[in-house]
Structure 1
Amino acid sequence: MYDRDKMLFQHEMESKLNSLKFQRERILNTPHKELWEKKISPIHDVDFYVILLRRLFRQIESEATYDSRVANLKGKNIDLVKKIKIRDDFEHGIDLENMSPVDVANLPSGTISAPVGANIKIATSLMNDEIVSGDLKWSLNKDHQLFIQLIIEFSNLYPFNDERTRVYNKRMKLYRFSPIKNKEQLLEAMKYTHFACFELCKKALGDYLPIAGNMGIFCHYESEYTFLTKLREELTEKSDNFNQKYFRLHEPITIPANGNVPETTYTYLYIRRPDQYRAQVGDLDFVLDDEKYKELKNSLPKGKEINGAKIFDRPDLDMIELSDPDIDALSYISTRAMVEKVRVRTN
């Protein structure tokens, strides 16, 4: 039954992808002059392509609400996800003043407040192989192929949480530790992140790397962020740098060895603001010397992922990201110099 259901679901998603691919080919292969002669605007085809794109992505958004694996997949593709919002219809109005900063940041460029019942469409245009809306661009080649891969990865996660699990998660809690309410729970979250990240490292590279001593814990509620920031202030040294991201602990936190995972000491702590694309518990940094890091980075094709390892898509941060849909933590590999850089906020 399971295999048949998965096969049917994947067939359904493949059929929807084929419709998207067909619409893409229609845009790229039909001369615009021919369309204009038929009094059909090429933007109609573009708009329909984006409608199909959004319909597919809404399935990911829906499952991400209940299934942390899907939420992690969504977060891993955050740059692509933001581009998918290139066209949106807001049928229930937009109240920018009362929206969270995270939600506002993820709205399409140029979005304005509107009363309930208003229907606002972000206009799109076509330039060469790119769909353009404001300062957002969607490549019908590169971004299209990345989206196809995203849907394939999403389909492979089937089956998702069943309805009873969804109801339980909704009534109880979606995240493994959040909201963290005391120091003991924070330490448990750090311990979990430690072992989860070492597992990521082992899966990706077949071995454990030295750590930088940094650990970040992700908040998922504003009240949790407020509480943990105050707790962090008690646990760490103060800094005059407004952009300080990681703070040195008064007393380093040591996690004893367990099996092949060595005893490890953490000296810096970071509390991350809530982010809808970060359902993980936390992250930590591994370090390599310059030559070994360069060798590892060169082994990873740009834009590709091998065993959960990929080049981190941030031009200002030279890092390798480790992730896995079944592990709700993230790891990063970099040089010692880069570790020092990320201890100060860069965005």
Structure 2
Amino acid sequence: MTTLILVLALFQTAQDLYNSAATDFEAGRWAEAATKYESVLKEDTSHIPSRFNLAVCYTKLGNTDAAIAAYRTLLDQNGTIYEARVNLAILLDQSSKRDEAGEQFEKALNLHPDDVQAELNLAMFYMRGNEIDKAYPHLIAVQTKGPSTAELYVALSEAEHARQNEAKSREYLEKAISLDSKNTNLRRQLAISYFTDKDYAKAIPPLVELVRLEPTNADYLYLLGKSYEQVKAYPLAIAALEQAIRIKSDDVEAYATLSAVFYAQENWGRAAQLLSRVIEFRPREALPHFVLATCWDHLGNAKEAIVQYNKFLELDDGSNDARSFQARQRARTLERRQKK
């Protein structure tokens, strides 16, 4: 009878201690809770709730190694606890132990094979490691299981980009934007993707929206202006590029593109003015000198045209024989005329 009373007393003490630890745990008093869970486990090493909560406390306290050890011990006792597998995988991943982390994410998925989050966890783990081939089937599986999220579509877009399927990558980006319409970064990625692929007409709508959201972003204005220039929407290109220059007065690409717009419109004077600015920024670049020379030529300013043709020939690397020949012949013709 005495022995039974002692056992009951010890049990009551351990239970009270666990309850007290749980109170501290719920209140976020991690150090106090950890101390009490450790005491409970001294009495009963197989008490799984205490072991799990102790691992959480160690994590909250920044004691990653102790947390990992606690989760390992717990899983040795019961390997079917999904949350412990996931938490251990995350800690191992954060500790740069990728092989072990991947093993735990895989085991977690095996425990819950139909769980969307388990599949996504594994997919995103492989994406973070740039292991696209391993991530891709899991991403597709998540999409099949549903419901789809912006995070999933972004990951699928990145995967398709890595697989060099830009059309599919943009398709997923557009789906992500439809679910997260306020995400400026997604719109920027979509716009740049179209722009890089020289699909300027499709780049324009997301760029227009980006400029609306960030009207003082000179980079967005330049990309929009360049896109308008490429589709020959010249008035819109001029407006966007002039605004870009007002915001960023040393934006040489904006000056160059704006000069191309005025050149296309045969506004030689304005084109010459802008090309002169380009040359100020890039004096050793041959082509702007040639284009500026043709502007002065159209304007009838033979003296300046000769200077620029000759400067072009001085800097020319011979990569365009026709242009070099034209510059040489035109400079000679103008020089002869001036001597008469």
| TM-score, scaled relative to structure 1 | 0.20
Whichever structure has more helix as a proportion of its residues is 2
| TM-score, scaled relative to structure 2 | 0.20
Structure showing greater radius of gyration is 2
Whichever structure has more strand as a proportion of its residues is 1
The structure with higher relative contact order (CA 8 Å, sep 6+) is 1
